[in-house]
Structure 1
Amino acid sequence: MQLSLVSILAAASAVSASTIPEHARRATAISVTPHDRYSSSVGVLGCKINTNRVAYWPSSVSCDKLCVRVTANGRSVTLLKVDQSGGAYDISYDAWNYLVTGRGAKENPVYGGGISATYEDVPMSECSSLLSGAGGKLPLTAANSMNYVSSCGSNTWAGKNYALFNILDPVCKWGYDEQCTLPPPSVSNQPSCPHQLGVPVAFTGKGVYNIDYGTGKESLA
């Protein structure tokens, strides 16, 4: 029995696709650039996460897909996607430096721009170590993250796994290092904290430190 050219090509394509690892088939090609100043458009607290492993993507911050793996030069990093960029695929300077050199930015800082890479969304369990400061929860500023919280349904990962703190800003300069609770909607739509919510007192807990681009030195945000 003779096979048509179309059948042969289709079979070859199927065999070829089956030999490609699943993660490679769903990975997206991008150019990643270094970002050496922590920020979060939804109020994720830098003093409660690993700010050296953050993704700053052009898309808005999701309620479910907050963990990505970026691969370049045979190396991979897992990152929290908690900020929206102006159009670039930025990643923390230390993560970018590791992809370029295989070493951290404090150990061997280098200069550079975009590098060819791929990324894929991965389960939040792969980012759990980056959230250790809040016991695996997504730490948010109680005073300024409620729009994000209300946009995430109770069936989303963020809706099930957020923690509110009485800290006013993502770089943790103001507020109290204390956890807040959100009462039922029938009681109040404002978080309840041990101290008054949103008071701009100087923060006395652990600060946020950036690794300065090209120098490897740390500076307080």
Structure 2
Amino acid sequence: MSIYHVLQVFKVTAFPVMALRLFVFALAAAMLAGCASSLARIQTWEGEVAEGGRALLKAPGEIQVVRVNGLSMSDFLMDDLALNYDLLPGENQIVFNYKTIWAKTGVVRDGESKVHVVETEPHAVSFVAQAGESYTFEFDKPESRREAEALQERFSGAIVDGAGVEVASFKLWNGKTPGPARAPVSGDQRGTIGTTGGDTLGQLKALWQNASEEEKRTFLRWAFE
């Protein structure tokens, strides 16, 4: 269930200002989800790599990738937002949670959450990525909160390639991770990497990673005003 479906449950007719804010929030969420494929390509290694020397992992909104090869991805997580991850060719370990959000249908008391959150324990999957290939998560998708809660205890699935062929299956994460991946560096690049400015998206990522929790919250409030 998407954030948009959750928002539909809320009754806002008595409060036009709140209705407007919720509408803007839903619109922004829809725009972010719709633009994720073109705007959110998250680099999962340290250093630079040639444009053609990477693979792509597509994660739907229910999948929250928390680590890739030991490198934290938590700064990029937002509920129900699909994201794309660029991977280096070769062995990659992905650590993730499966998380769904369901609107409460009964009376909600003041201060109580208006949604049910169903989330699995961390899972991991390791596979050899090929340069230029596209991969995605394949798993059963529940139609109700009850189905999601049943799935929570026996969550399973696999990574499939662009042809739909399974390349690796999910397992419960054992807490072990490899070191962060680094792109191979040629002789003439060694003196420049880390000193030259990146593109706008790269600079924004760096700013976000260095921001405090309060600065991040302030930015998100501004983004959805």
Greater share of helix: 2
User: Larger C-alpha radius of gyration, 1 or 2?
Assistant: 1
Normalising by structure 2, what TM-score?
A: 0.25
Normalising by structure 1, what TM-score?
A: 0.26
